[in-house]
Amino acid sequence: MDHVPSHESDSSVAYSHLLARPVELASGVDALYLSGRAALPLPFIARLDEARALAELTSAATPFELGGENFAMAPHAFGRYRFCLEHEYGRIGISTSHRLPAFRIQPRSGFLHSVGPAAAASHFRRVLQAECDEVFLSVSRIDLYVDIEGWDVGIEDRPLFVCRAGSVRTYEEENRFTGFEFGRRSTKTICARIYDKTADVARTGADWWFDIWQREEGSGRVIRVELEWNREGLDQFGLTGVDETLAAIGDLWRYGTEEWLTHRSPTADGNRARWPVSTPWTSVQTATLAQHVVGADRVSQQQRAGSLRRMTPALVGYLVAFAVLSGTTGIDDTVAAVARLLRRDEILRGKAFADRTRHRLLDRRFR
């Protein structure tokens, strides 16, 4: 049984954050997964088979041209899809099985936020139609979100959520609360996540979010409320195509935040469903879903900066350990010693460092 907060004087202090009205920093679509039906021409299938065979032989990604774009054929499948094509804009799975849609398409979040979801879907349709004439796209999953500043949600808020789902999970890292998850993805209907997005950005290196928020790094905690709609949930609203689904995101958000999941302010009433909606949650319910976008170049630049930021502490640690072993003390002599070590390694391996870098770039550039 859920614990119902008491209503003594200390309770008003514990739940004083329920009176604050958070500020929306961004909202819209953060994930748009698509299925595509089309007739695959035999020459196209032959090209796919050839590229996949080469990728398996070399255990490395193989260049593959698709619709004028340079993809990489992975040496592994994409779920039930035998062919997995990687690109900086997203991933495409291709299957020749009649039991599956021909294409499974997952645009990357950075691409969605650099051009918008409608343009992202149009881009992948154009690329595929260059090979298959006519491609019919449907939405298999769409994630809607709002990022807000000024809501100090924490583990003590667990009893204040009223949700139609029977499953609720609480997440912590290093004894610090990081978020809630409501419902299960396995139902293929709807689930929700509420979590510290600033902590997520620090972990993933997706620093371009600070551009979208128009906030400096370290300027404050940002909480994300995210609704994930899957195929069976969209079916309940009669939504299939890309255009009609994007046109209905307001209805999907209203249902998710007004009927399926709410956050309440406690009263003496023993029935939590009759508690009034909290002030922070009214800000969630009225999210604009305006889909703020930034340029693709800026996303790429900030993504690289974030990756370097995450890598730096470990890199410095290794270099300090190397300096101790090699007898160097400063940056310049340590880096020079590393260069000598790399050149010796090239001789032992019989492979140039530049060649290894090019192979790694091809293998990882689209991940």
Rounded CA gap, 10 and 13, in Å?
5
Complete DSSP assignment for 71-101 = EEE-SS-BTTBSEEEEETTEEEEE---TTS-
* One-letter amino acid for residue 357 of the chain: T
pTM across the whole model: 0.79
Distance of alpha carbon 350 from alpha carbon 354, whole angstroms = 12
What are the 10-residue block averages of pLDDT along the chain, 367 residues in total?
40 55 93 97 97 94 94 96 96 97 95 93 96 94 96 92 93 88 95 94 86 81 96 96 96 97 95 94 94 55 53 72 79 80 78 71 52
Phi then psi for 296, rounded to 5 degrees?
A: -60, -40
The confidence score (pLDDT) of residue 309 equals 57
Secondary structure (DSSP) of 160-194: GEEESSS-EEEEEETTEEEEEEES-GGGSSEEEEE
Q: CA torsion angle for 108, 113, 114, 116 (degrees, to 10)?
A: 100
Q: How far is CA 197 from CA 19, 89, 106, 120, 200, in A?
A: 22, 22, 21, 23, 5
pLDDT score of 338: 77
Q: What is the structure's pLDDT at 102?
A: 97
How much is the pLDDT for 348? 76
What's residue 327's pLDDT?
84
Residue 291 CB coordination number (10 Å): 18
Which residues, 6+ apart, have CB-to-CB distance to 125 below 8 Å?
36, 135, 137
Whole-angstrom distance, CA of residue 232 vs CA of residue 141: 9
CA 40/CA 250 separation, integer angstroms: 35
Q: Which helix (H) or strand (E) holds 254?
A: helix 249-254
The confidence score (pLDDT) of residue 10 equals 42
Residues contacting 44, CB < 8 A, separation 6+: 131, 132
Do the beta carbons of residue 34 and residue 127 sit within 8 Å?
A: no
